Amino acid sequence: MAGVLAAVVLVPTLWPSDSGESLEYSEWRELVIDGKIATAEINTGSGKISGEFTNEDKYTTSGGGERGVSEADEALLLENDVKYKFIPPSNNWLLGLLSIFLPIALIIGFFVWLQRRAQGQMGGVMSIGKSKAKAYDASRPSTTFDDIAGYEGVKQEITEVVDFLRMPERFREIGARVPKGILLVGPPGTGKTLFARAVAGEAGVGFLSVTGSDFMEMFVGVGASRVRDLFQQARRMGKAIIFVDEIDSIGRKRGAGLGGGHDEREQTLNQMLAEMDGFETSEGLVIMAATNRPDILDPALLRPGRFDRQIVVPLPEFSERKAILDVHSRDKQMGPDVDMDTMAQATPGMSGADLANLVNEAALVAVRRGSKQIERIDFENARDRVVLGARRESMLLSAEEKKATAYHEGGHALLATVLPHGDPLHKVTILPRGMALGVTWSLPQERHTYSKEYFEDTICKAMGGRVAEMLTFGHLNSGAANDLEQATGIARRMVREWGMSDRVGPMAWSSQQQVFLGDDLLSSGREYSDDTAKLLDEEIAHILTHQEQRATEIITKHEKGLQLIAEALLEHETIDGPEVARLIQAGMLGEGGASAPPVPLRGTDA
């Protein structure tokens, strides 16, 4: 309607018209005086004048004022026998209609907008029970197992699901039943969601992705309704995979906690359990879920017939870390000195997401450095930033603080090099990073079990900074707070959990009971007597005191080496493990002379 009104108003103004020759007003007066103007029509509204020459040609002029002509010019027209008349401004009937109908159209449009908005709100309320799952057809996701580096054991275990979705008749012929639910368990960042997408891509079936929080709403029963709609949507797709990420948000133990259960969460969980019992394996539906907290899941979820298979997606090993680094560095400009074997060896405990972030950080460091390639130094700086924290350029230490930090870190570095069972030393620095004034970084070796001697050497190394300061300056400061916290935590677990105390014997008590896990509140108290508690405290104190004495003896023996390490740190600020080992050896040779036998040290080639 608005377009029609605009066309009615604008088209006449844009339509071409033959208005004749256009004259200036002064030129028109001269023609009047010369007797060449026959007629004149003067518009009193616009002041424009139009008419005909004596030869009957038409003309127009802008006029000479609001009235069109002055009284003198009107007399001039009479004097030269020009037929003239004044024309009042004509009323545009289209503009009149527009002024009437435009307000009406605006009012009608406003009410139509209100009605549509109300319908949209009602539609949102009526669709609150609909599933929020993101649906992908057989061509999406296109992720396959080839896109996942490493994890060959996990791939082999999960291939059975792919085979079932591709060729279910093979399983029916022999009477085998494929698990209805598969639970992917592992630390954050290990690629559990990526595995679910790869299964759907390999099988070529539909994929429904939803997170546990999508089921939760302020209204009780909405989550259960969304679960029903999710399974109905999956059945309409035929063969499909339903993937529920972070299932622990709705699958916690029912009736747990101090304040009772959450009605909405429990109803959602009950509906999911009922749906998993309802669909048959022959339907071609497989539900997969991911969590990094399997200990808080309701036991009903994990029984046979529901999530009856758990696949652990662990942190990657050395070969897997190298493959992951190769994948993430595939599309980046890598320098010739970058060795992925070394980087994989230097990043134990990192997940796939951590490694991807490491490669990206190295690229950012290279850009800041002005390089067009990612070189080894960029990876080193990126790893230091990720593991140790960003360097604090603005922090300036006084000479006394810098010297104390050098001896503190030198004590850690000396013990890390000399002790036989700890992790080998990688580098030591007195540059402030993160929350620390200095850092001694040992390179963890690939281990799955740890010996008592390893923990004792770790505690002894943690005491090194405190002991070095005490022997050098004769007093202590607060810099060893984190070291003592780490050492006390290890000693406590040695006594309470790992049975590494001769006096306590082969007994273990967990550190703390979590009430929300569904355990009874009354049974979460202390499980041992006061005498046992006293014995535990004595053994923890004995371990810490003994390792401090051990650290004192070793540092006293290598006092010259400690001094050389501290001097090197004050001069260079950062030194690596082999250099620390060389300085300790030089200190021993300096004290014992050239004939002193070499001391076995544990420097690394990091």
Known catalytic residues are 409
> What are the start-end ranges of the E strands in 65-110?
83-87
From 446, 438, 321, select the one nearest 379 (Cα to Cα): 321
Longest dimension (CA), the chain: 139
* SS3 category, 371: coil
> What are the start-end ranges of the E strands in 39-191?
39-43, 49-52, 58-61, 83-87, 134-136, 181-185
Task: Quote helix, strand, coil % in the chain, to nearest 5.
Answer: 55, 10, 35
Strand order in the sheet with 574-576: 439-442, 425-429, 574-576
Give me the helix-helix angle, 481-496 and 530-557, nearest 10°.
130
- Give the integer Cα–Cα distance in Å for 250 and 181: 16
Give me the helix-helix angle, 318-328 and 352-369, nearest 10°.
50
* SS3 category, 63: coil
Tokens 């005909």 belong to which residue? Answer: 52
CB-CB contact of 295 with 251 (8 Å): no
Alpha helices in 441-558 (DSSP H): 452-473, 481-496, 530-557
CB-CB contact of 434 with 419 (8 Å): no
Cis bond upstream, residue 432 (ω within 30): no
Structure tokens at 329: 């560095």
Tokens 């420097």 belong to which residue? Answer: 603
* SS3 category, 170: helix
